[in-house]
Structure 1
Amino acid sequence: MRNRTVALALAPGALHPWDLYELGVVAAVFGTPQPDLADPWYDLRVCAIGGAGAEQPIGFGTVIRPEYGPEGLVGVDTVIVPSVSHECVGAERPVPEELVRALAAAHARGARMVALCDGVFALAAAGVLDDRRVTVHWEHAELLARRHPLVRVDDSVLYVDDGDVLTSAGMTAAVDVCLHLVRRDLGAVVANKLARRMVVPPHRSGGQAQFVELAVPERPADDLGPVLQWALAHLGEPLTVEMLAARAAMSPRTFHRRLLKSTGSTPMRWLLNQRLAHARMLLETSALPVERVAGLCGLGTATNLRRHFAAVLGVSPAQYRRTFEQH
């Protein structure tokens, strides 16, 4: 398995209680063996910049004693940086130099780098994000852009996959980007089964909007759920906004407004994202011809499927399939 070793890089300093969520997500996704999904699973190591065995406060009077120091980042496939302490974000003190050096060295050796929420400040301090598009929780976007002018900050999305560097917004976006990594490494089937086990949505596109006034929900409003589930079961059929609105007992205008508020997507954009997600799964898990895949996911023709793949993913369906054939 490629990208098997994962290091969680903990910076010194007490974390906010809600940062515990990110640590739990990483442990659940990468640190919990899933032999029925893939064997071997990931090998997760927790690295404290203060050194192996150094107590790391994680809130509520709890500490952990990681088995690795910064040397644990050497040679791993993926480095995940969770939120750093708020003193670092607020510039009351800089990101620890030892962490900065360790992250820069890991990246130079070819590790895939991942920042969860304001862990992006540590990657930026290490120079990993220069001239890259990244995201962060909307509350920190202005500060990140001001402090690191070479970084292109986009606070409108849940996560950004820039190949060997990935960044995500706050809290539940950590679930999204971690499952996205599993999808990249092991395919859609494994990622979807893991998501069901965790009782979370199997896939939210990184391009889904962050909301300032309203946090992104993990599921649509209850009155939209049944019609969206029905749509997912009928993606291969012609679907219109009017048809979906009628099933939801709403006017098209009301349905459009409610779906946009609940998911950050217009009805047609939501449908396209679901169809592309279904097409990706079929390409990853079957040998069906591209024309057949296009029909099953509701995009009609191979030409239409190729056009949308190029616009959204930057590759052709055939190129996408070959990528997963290499895993």
Structure 2
Amino acid sequence: MPKLNPFRPGSVISPGTFVGRIEEIEVVEQSLLQTRNGNPQHFIIEGERGIGKSSLCLWVDYLARGDFTYDGKNRLSFVVVNTELHAAMGYDDIVDAILAELKRQIANRQPLLENCKKAWDFLSRFQISGVRYDRPQPLATNNRRLDELTDVLVDLIEESLGAVEGVLILIDESDRPPSDAHLGQFCKLLTERLSRRRCERVCIGLSGLPDLMQKLKDSHESSLRIFNILELKPLEFAERMMVIDRGIDQANTNSDTPIEIDDDAKRLIANLSEGYPHFLQEFAHCSFATDTDDKITCVDAPVNASKISLRYRHVVGC
């Protein structure tokens, strides 16, 4: 029977095997709790390629939905609008992507369909006007779409009757669109419109490469001021070792033959990764695949890992 390789290079890591990021998670938890209580706190998850931004976004998604507790016993209940951006998207494309995902999320929650009549009335008629991300960027943004999104969010919060504690707009790959897509302006204007409408239970979370900061600033000089910026650093050595252990444990729950890995091999993989979750998964995956005797040693690890290290460092620019 072939062994199930638990390591997933190039894939988002599920919350069940997520390791580290304790400080960042605490900030996000507080952001959501503050938002739930009418004091919205927005955040940006920023870092290099392969550092684990998308995996942290998925963890935040699960937390906000209430799929697990934030303090060991209590859960949140947010509508999570989780989307990602593309390189040629413009201002209206970004708003349309959020509206489309919001429509999908409400459609999947029967209590919201029954209570949020005004919000659903608009969303049920909403159609994306063709997916064309290569159209020229307008000289000035069209705030009609932003006003429509604002109305929907206000109606959703007001009509939910406590079924929803808040809305989290979670945008991954936020660095992809150019500065003239005006993502920074969108965030600033949306938060101001919601505040004027006394709708204070909407949180915005962005995730992207370091150049996201400059793009937001180019779009709106003061847009960065509304965010807590969380810069992801490489995992600590102990956290890298824990990732490997959890992978081996996962493999053994699905295998009749126990798989082992010696400490030297774990240390080698952890050191070669330099704390980048992508490299850690890649090196561990290849070492697991190379093993033929159900005991991973340094003989299995370095041959593949050293080659992959050179290839992927070139790809991600580390």
> Considering only CA atoms, is the larger Rg found in Structure 1 or Structure 2?
2
Question: What TM-score do you get using the length of structure 2 for normalisation?
Answer: 0.27
More helix by share: 2
Question: What TM-score do you get using the length of structure 1 for normalisation?
Answer: 0.27
